[in-house]
Amino acid sequence: MKYIVVTGGVMSGLGKGITMASIGRILKNRGYKIVPIKIDPYINIDAGTMNPYQHGEVYVLGDGAEVDLDLGHYERFMDVELGREHNITTGIVYSAVIERERKGEYLGQTVQIIPHVTNEIKGRIRSVAAKSGADICLVEIGGTVGDIESMPFLESVRQMQGEENGNDFLFVHVTLVPFTTLKEQKTKPTQHSVKALRELGLQPDIIVCRGKETLKEDVKTKIAMFCNVKKEAVVSAPDTEDIYEVPLLLEKEGIFSYISEKMQLEQPKEDNEWLRMVERRKSCSDKEFFIAIVGKYAELEDSYLSIKEAIKHAATELGCRVETKWIEAEDLEACEKDVGSFFQDVRGILVPGGFGVRGAEGKIKAIEYVRENKIPFLGLCFGFQLAVIEAARNVAKLKDANSSELCETPHPVIDLLEEQKEVVEKGGTMRLGDYEVFIRGDTLAKKAYGKKKIVERHRHRYEVNPAYIERIEREGAVFSGTDRSGTRMEILELSQEKHPFFLATQFHPEFKSRPNKPSPPFKAFLEACLQVQKFC
């Protein structure tokens, strides 16, 4: 097994995840089987309880793990299916070590960071790598070099490097090269970052330098000299308009040539599918339009990162360019006049997932507007539940219909199923990960997917109340997708006689969208938007 470890310095948010995902894509293009691992130094067991304002969206894997959004980048770039073992946090590691200690597995030893915690970390990395059958394991260590919480993980990979063959281990360090007002690229932050890394016993093999513009040659030379790497190992990674260009940019900088030389890799083949996809994206400029996303975290677009990417994937497939207008649900909630002023320049409206009462009524206003004005609509998870509430209130005339998650209501059209209530009282959690969905024939959903059985990822607890299904469908709505038992509603749509495109899913189709394999609901939604003859 060969290992590539990606670390970061100077500041967070530089793009370690995109860098590692891009290296993985480059290696996959060359025919190598790769397996990624994300290490998050926070003490949380997983990202499930984190506020999206702090960490961006919570990404859900097929086995139900709630993880950092970087694993979404890995899945999209590398086109792999990951599980909970691919995300290691401080909370997971310390919980395992404490449990072992309580069971007496350390035979009375004083349990310490070294060797017990570091052995746990190394064991987890090697276990995932071995089970995957991959050629190369990529490991991203979150946070910034110098952070106290990252120390055990950096020490673990330092030990691993000494335990592996020299050509089987490689360090990539991502740093910032700021651009001053005097148009000068400053190397000092990179020098200090690498110095901090070397003080921990780690010498980077490759330094990826982030900045607004391409590194000048003399700046590369200076970084190489002060950071003890070859000049060809200093890789310029300037800002790009499209993150999917990054693998091509790094390839052009010679990163694969350096990796293959250092790790003694052959170059068995070269797949240009990714290049063709990027070229298609660049050519999508003639047909451009806006869609609106009505969310409660619209100030931080990373809260809906997978949705943004799924829109890109579908737009590329359809040869169009889509711009997103972000609308705060609370602004709609506070609007006492016609909400149409928020949507004057859009061709479609998307209501994403979310939890809690804040902004819910604003989203319902948006859903009512799209239904009445026959604007293409896509609802996701909570957006699906709110679409059910809107239909119950305004179509089925069930006054004050709502979700029991949000308030006391005489008509809990969204509620816990009877078998769930006991489980939740005992501490049960949400419905997470992959579940089968069965689709009715002759429906929008069937047309979008082209098949009757699909598997999509979920992240919710509340369901459509079976007691209200017949009443809602009697008024023209259609629950076109259910689980195998037929008791859990998965897809809501309006017949095309009533609306050109109105589709909402209890699941999150955005999590399975890929650059070359767009999500069917997103593609169908944008197709409907393209058919709108004029702006709403």
**Distance (Å, rounded) from C-alpha 193 to C-alpha 143?**
13
For residue 269, the model assigns a pLDDT of 80
CATH 3.40.50.880 residue window(s) in the chain = 284-530
**Distance (Å, rounded) from C-alpha 291 to C-alpha 304?**
14
Are the C-beta atoms of 406 and 416 separated by less than 8 Å? no
Are the C-beta atoms of 209 and 221 separated by less than 8 Å? no
- Which among 180, 165, 146, 199 is positioned nearest to 7, based on CA atoms? 146
For residue 428, the model assigns a pLDDT of 56
Backbone angles phi, psi at 489, to 5 degrees: -80, 135
**Distance (Å, rounded) from C-alpha 349 to C-alpha 390?**
15
- Which among 352, 306, 380 is positioned nearest to 69, based on CA atoms? 306
For residue 318, the model assigns a pLDDT of 94
- Which among 385, 381, 383 is positioned nearest to 409, based on CA atoms? 385
Give counts: helices (H), strands (E), the chain.
19, 21
Using a 10 angstrom Cβ sphere, with 0-12 exposed, 13-18 middle and 19 or more buried, the burial of residue 239 is exposed
**Which positions are annotated as active-site residues?**
381, 508, 510
Q: What is the CATH number of domain 2-277?
A: 3.40.50.300
For residue 56, the model assigns a pLDDT of 86
Q: What is the pLDDT along the chain (536 residues), one digit of tens a residue?
A: 999 999 999 998 899 999 999 999 999 999 999 999 999 999 999 998 888 877 789 999 999 999 999 999 999 999 999 999 999 999 999 999 999 999 999 999 999 999 999 999 999 999 999 999 999 999 999 999 989 999 999 999 999 999 999 899 999 999 999 988 778 999 999 999 999 999 999 999 999 999 999 999 999 999 999 999 999 999 999 999 999 999 999 999 999 999 999 999 987 788 899 999 999 998 886 678 999 999 988 777 888 999 999 999 999 999 999 999 999 999 998 887 788 889 988 999 999 998 889 999 999 999 999 999 999 999 999 999 999 999 999 999 999 999 999 999 999 999 998 777 666 554 456 899 999 999 999 999 999 999 999 999 999 999 999 999 999 999 889 999 999 999 999 999 998 888 999 999 999 999 999 999 999 999 999 999 999 865 44
HSE value, Cβ hemisphere, 13 Å, CA-based, for 261: 10
**Residue 437 CB partners (closer than 8 Å, separation 6+):** 453, 454, 455, 456, 481, 482, 483, 490, 491, 507
3-class SS of residue 469: helix
CATH 3.40.50.300 residue window(s) in the chain = 2-277
For residue 430, the model assigns a pLDDT of 85
Answer CATH for 284-530 from 3.40.1260.10, 3.40.50.880, 3.40.920.10, 3.30.70.870: 3.40.50.880
For residue 287, the model assigns a pLDDT of 75
